[in-house]
Amino acid sequence: MSVSPSSSAPLPAAADAVVVGAGFGGLYALHCLRQMGFSAVCFEAGDGVGGTWYWNRYPGARCDVESLQYSYSFSPELDQEWTWSEKYAPQAEIMAYANHVADRFDLRRDIRLSTRVVSATFDEKRALWVVETDGGGRVEARFCLMAVGCLSSANKPPFAGMADFKGPIYHTGEWPKDGVDFTGQRVAVIGTGSSAIQSIPLIAEQASALTVFQRTATYTVPAYNAPLDPEHVAKVKADYPALRARARSRPTGFYFPINTAPAMEATEEERRRKYEEAWARGGLPFLGAFGDLLFSKEANDTIADFAREKIRGIVKDPATADLLCPDNVFGCKRLCVDTDYFATYNKPHVKLVDVSKTPIERFTAEGIVVAGKTYPADAVVCATGFAAMTGSYEKIRITGRDGLTLAEKWRAGPRAYLGVASAGFPNLFMITGPGSPSVLASMIQAIEQHVDWMVDLMAHMRDVGARTFEPRVADEDAWVEHVNEVSQVSLRSTCSSWYVGANVPGRPRVFMPYIGGFPVYVQKCNEIMDGGYSGFVLEGAKSGKAAPEVRLTKRWHVPLDMDVISPAMLAARRVPVV
């Protein structure tokens, strides 16, 4: 892969905007800012672009939204010229795509790699953000766009005795650039979330012994990943805009068949047929087999029973199969998508250790101790996930009005209006921040919608001469309450997942993403924009200002797909989000 170097020119003292992070959010933000005539500097801690895909290089890492939709939709030319090789693109190909985008849109000249932002401080008098980096760099900017990612800050549980362990300890979210060869080694994997489920089958192919430490069993659906059929790709490309438009009107921002009928209105035979059909298609759309699976426990029990039956049908040892069968709500934690995950436990050198009741006691030089027994290992893989949604904000000292830090403001849980901005922090944007659909939508579409909306707001502020924008506290409070209220309707709020911050001890328990449906959220953003940014204070705006001009956001002004988001569903806040 040939890449042009990022900027080595002297850092400008000032820019219209600082972008923090050069993942998919940061890259698109840079592109849009340029398009609208704003100058920008983007800082990236990694030595390459790609964000979470840069760091998550563990074996088997790949997207689980189909590649033809897990990609930017803003450029018809890009859609035509890029060709994905597999149904679910592997990490290396997603990285190649991110690098291609950086080159094709000439983004690198504004990106500073290997540079971590350590603080962002709002200077109230001058209405400027002062952004400082670990290398001593400093830039002042009117706007700060946080493109720090939702799942980027690794969760590293501090197991006792880790320093004593004689072998290497890896985290899936900070995988070594040159890869790891486990051939002939005894490997321990801690965790059974998406990262573990993708990596375990491949680690098992190399390792001489593999021990998996499971705290919570996981539901996972087969990926049936395969090379993409060129005819299918050509068909999609012949009418790509139509697919993109359909995706935009769907609850998750990507398109797949959804059956909105309630599960309990079907007969047992009909339900089974639907589940079998959906299982045969595989992937996240399995949860779209019926419309009420995340709203009715009775309905959910039927899909959970079906999934447990599948596990028992694959795993030969009944005791291991029992341990692998989750007993919580199906899809409550993020559903996983796998290739040969359960079958891996049929291999004689793969063992599962239950740490749900007897947690990992400690590491020793030789391995990992559970209930007084040492499980020997030459290497340990922590597939222990992320401090989701807010973890990357916590790593930067962000100080707003009156010296208030974001960490202090968010101590009891994140508070942000629409998940795009937080009162007390003027001119600070949060791309896919807490309170927006973010991780419950196809991430790249969620990013694009946010960035389009944000840059349109910046352009409007320029039109009307506003110095700052900031949410009104009352509107922010009402939004946070709404996000919480909508989450209560879904069974997803009922378990200890990273959606509620429960995977990291000590974090406040708050359902962080907006679960009311991506297009419903987009409509709300559009309404707020069309209403002259109601809910926001635009300080310094000239009176008699014109209505905001809809620029980049135009493509998000699409009607809801009433086949899957009916008025009744909207009234009951039961929009099926898989």
- Is residue 340 classed exposed, middle or buried when 0-12, 13-18 and 19+ CB atoms within 10 A define those classes? middle
- Give min distance, CB of 334 to ligand N01, in A: 3
- Give min distance, CB of 416 to ligand N01, in A: 20
Give the start-end residues of each E strand in 106-262. Answer: 111-112, 117-123, 128-133, 138-146, 169-171, 186-190, 209-214, 220-222
Q: Can residue 194 be called a binding residue for ligand N01 (CB under 6 A)?
A: yes
Among residues 517, 578, 567, 570, the alpha carbon closest in space to that of 251 is found at 517
Q: Can residue 398 be called a binding residue for ligand N01 (CB under 6 A)?
A: no
- Give min distance, CB of 376 to ligand N01, in A: 18
Select the span of 108-116, 137-145, 231-239, 377-385 touching ligand N01 (CB under 6 A). Answer: 377-385
Q: Can residue 254 be called a binding residue for ligand N01 (CB under 6 A)?
A: no
CA 353 – CA 380 distance, rounded (Å): 14
Among residues 95, 334, 22, 61, the alpha carbon closest in space to that of 172 is found at 61
- Give min distance, CB of 1 to ligand N01, in A: 21
Q: Can residue 360 be called a binding residue for ligand N01 (CB under 6 A)?
A: yes
- Report which residue type is found at 183: T
Instruction: Tell which one of 30, 41, 107, 151 touches ligand N01 (CB under 6 A).
Output: 151
* CB count in 10 Å sphere of residue 208: 12
Q: Can residue 446 be called a binding residue for ligand N01 (CB under 6 A)?
A: no
Select the span of 188-196, 226-234, 280-288, 427-435 touching ligand N01 (CB under 6 A). Answer: 188-196
Q: Which helix (H) or strand (E) holds 31?
A: helix 24-35
Instruction: Tell which one of 21, 385, 434, 435 touches ligand N01 (CB under 6 A).
Output: 385
- Give min distance, CB of 199 to ligand N01, in A: 9
CA 163 – CA 166 distance, rounded (Å): 8
Instruction: Tell which one of 29, 49, 120, 190 touches ligand N01 (CB under 6 A).
Output: 190
Residues between 50 and 79 with contacts to ligand N01, criterion CB under 6 A? 63-64
User: What is the four-CA torsion angle of 268, 269, 272, 276, rounded to 10 degrees?
Assistant: -170
Instruction: Tell which one of 191, 253, 414, 433 touches ligand N01 (CB under 6 A).
Output: 191
Tokens representing 537 are: 């204070």
Select the span of 96-104, 189-197, 346-354, 420-428 touching ligand N01 (CB under 6 A). Answer: 189-197
Q: At which residue do the structure tokens 């919570």 appear? A: 216
Q: At which residue do the structure tokens 């039109």 appear? A: 463
- Give min distance, CB of 352 to ligand N01, in A: 12
Residues between 490 and 519 with contacts to ligand N01, criterion CB under 6 A? 498, 503
**Size of interface with ligand N01, in residues (CB under 6 A):** 27
DSSP state of 289: G
Question: Distance of CA 187 to CAs 61, 210, 384, Å?
Answer: 18, 5, 15
Q: Can residue 377 be called a binding residue for ligand N01 (CB under 6 A)?
A: no
Q: Which helix (H) or strand (E) holds 539?
A: strand 536-539
- Give min distance, CB of 424 to ligand N01, in A: 29
- Give min distance, CB of 288 to ligand N01, in A: 17
The gap from C-alpha 84 to its chain's centroid, in whole angstroms, comes to: 21
- Give min distance, CB of 469 to ligand N01, in A: 30
Question: Quick one: angle between helices 518-530 and 443-464, nearest 10?
Answer: 0
140, 128 in Cβ contact below 8 A?
Answer: yes
Instruction: Tell which one of 35, 39, 216, 374 touches ligand N01 (CB under 6 A).
Output: 216
Residue 488: φ, ψ to 5°: -65, -25
When the beta carbons of 254 and 386 are compared against ligand N01, the nearer one is 386
Q: Can residue 201 be called a binding residue for ligand N01 (CB under 6 A)?
A: no
| Residues near ligand N01, by CB under 6 A | 63-64, 151, 157, 172, 190-196, 198, 213, 215-216, 334, 355, 359-360, 383-386, 439, 498, 503
